């Protein structure tokens, strides 16, 4: 490689790096939900939104100790995102039919109730925007800040999620 080629790549690299840095610096992150998962030994997960300078959603993340999972609004609308999988089964999944990065929409939480019969239940909540404030709400308008996933056991072995407590 000659010096002219190297300098072109260097200029492209610097341009890309500064563009990437400016996008990352303009994004702000907000926590919208805490999930306490009893089936995972009361492990805490946090759902966060990365917002652009207008307050619109750039990406969604699930963060827990030692783990980060990032996905887009399109991922939610196009089949959903599995947040927890065990023994070959999707245990906890997020999806949507109407999610929009500017105004929010429905959030469908699909969870495994019984791993033996492979039975699932859904909990529908709504991601809503009020100016620059994002929040999750139930159908009747109750704000959702925390979900506690309670274990369902069969002969002492966890086989699913018995119920979800909304706080």
Range of the structural domain that residue 58 is part of: 29-166
pLDDT at position 1, please? 55
Q: How many domains does the chain have?
A: 1
DSSP state of 100: B
Q: Residue 148: inside a domain, yes or no?
A: yes
Q: Residue 143: inside a domain, yes or no?
A: yes
pLDDT at position 22, please? 42
pLDDT at position 126, please? 98
Residues 6+ apart with CB under 8 A from 62: 45, 46, 47, 68, 69, 83
User: Per DSSP, what are the bridge partners of residue 62?
Assistant: 47, 69
Phi, psi of 106 (to 5 degrees): -75, 150
pTM of the full predicted structure? 0.80
Q: Residue 3: inside a domain, yes or no?
A: no
DSSP-derived secondary structure for 18-62:
HHHHHHHHH-EEEEEEEEEEGGGTSEEEEEEEEE-TTS-EEEEEE
Q: What is the mean pLDDT of each run of 10 residues along the chain (167 residues)?
A: 49 45 65 96 97 96 96 97 95 96 97 97 97 94 97 95 97
């Amino acid at each position: 490689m000659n010096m002219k080629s190297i300098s072109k790549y260097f200029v492209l690299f610097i341009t890309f790096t500064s563009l990437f840095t400016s996008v990352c610096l303009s994004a702000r992150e907000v926590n919208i939900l805490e999930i306490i998962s009893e089936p995972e030994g009361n492990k805490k997960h946090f759902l966060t939104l990365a917002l652009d300078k207008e307050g619109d959603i750039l990406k969604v993340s699930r963060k827990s100790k030692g783990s980060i999972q990032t996905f887009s609004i399109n991922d939610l609308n196009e089949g959903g995102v599995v947040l927890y999988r065990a023994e070959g089964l999707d245990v906890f999944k997020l999806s949507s039919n109407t999610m929009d990065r500017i105004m929010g929409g429905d959030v469908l939480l699909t969870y495994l109730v019984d791993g033996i019969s492979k039975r699932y239940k859904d909990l529908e909540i709504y991601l809503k925007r009020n100016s620059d404030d994002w929040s999750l709400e139930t159908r009747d308008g109750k704000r959702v800040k925390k979900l506690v996933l309670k274990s369902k056991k069969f002969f002492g072995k966890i086989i699913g999620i018995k119920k979800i407590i909304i706080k």
